[in-house]
A and B are shown apart, each in its own frame.
Chain A
Amino acid sequence: AQSVAQPEDQVNVAEGNPLTVKCTYSVSGNPYLFWYVQYPNRGLQFLLKYITGDNLVKGSYGFEAEFNKSQTSFHLKKPSALVSDSALYFCAVRDDTGSARQLTFGSGTQLTVLP
């Protein structure tokens, strides 16, 4: 079975400060990990993914995420937040050993960047 936890429903950060959105996962095998962002009344937009290799993954809009196997985490980060980063962020996982092809999503974290 595969699962994802996003422990924070809401994250607030001041513009210009670094931001972190937390994600932990559980899989039987090796994880494929993804971050998506959802703006109001829009579908999900792909930000970045970890499949294998370098633990630090860089994605769209200056976001990056660090894969930590020992802590089973994949936190999303950005060095300097913008007001326009305010949105709903979803972490998702798929187990590379499972037969399921769908992603399992976390419950989402609402990020608010304050001007």
Chain B
Amino acid sequence: GAGVSQSPSNKVTEKGKDVELRCDPISGHTALYWYRQSLGQGLEFLIYFQGNSAPDKSGLPSDRFSAERTGGSVSTLTIQRTQQEDSAVYLCASSLGGTGSYEQYFGPGTRLTVT
């Protein structure tokens, strides 16, 4: 079946502009995660959605970052007033449920470059 998809695959933006990144999870997966991967670094957790519950926003680095998930499916990560340190690959993942034993399936990522 179809995997996790993300769009755009690449985004170049000027410092100070807002950007929106989109994630389409695997159908039937109730849990959705956003991570950030900076050059030469591991993955940094950003935010987690599980069903209709309030999201876990504990990983968002600043109030310029926000995310929503509509209808329990598609998610959008928004970065306002982008800064150069926001440049990274943003990865979305989904899993069957929110219990930690389920493996997460990752999308190909959106590479964000802030100039």
Contacts and interface: CB of A to CB of B under 8 A. Distances in A.
Given A43-B91, A100-B56, A51 B101 contact: yes
Contacts of A34: 103-104
B4 A107 contact: no
Contacts of A105: 35, 42-43
Contacts of A41: 108
A100 B98 CA distance: 10
A96 B98 CA distance: 12
B103 A101 contact: no
A22 interface: no
25 contacts: A32-B101, A42-B109, A43-B91, A43-B107, A44-B93, A44-B106, A46-B103, A46-B104, A49-B101, A95-B100, A96-B100, A100-B58, A101-B48, A101-B50, A101-B56, A101-B98, A101-B99, A101-B100, A102-B35, A102-B45, A102-B56, A102-B59, A103-B45, A103-B100, A105-B35
Interface of A: 32, 34, 36, 41-46, 49, 51, 90, 92, 94-96, 100-108
Given A44-B93, A49-B103, A100-B56, 4 more contacts: A41-B108, A46-B103, A105-B42, A106-B42
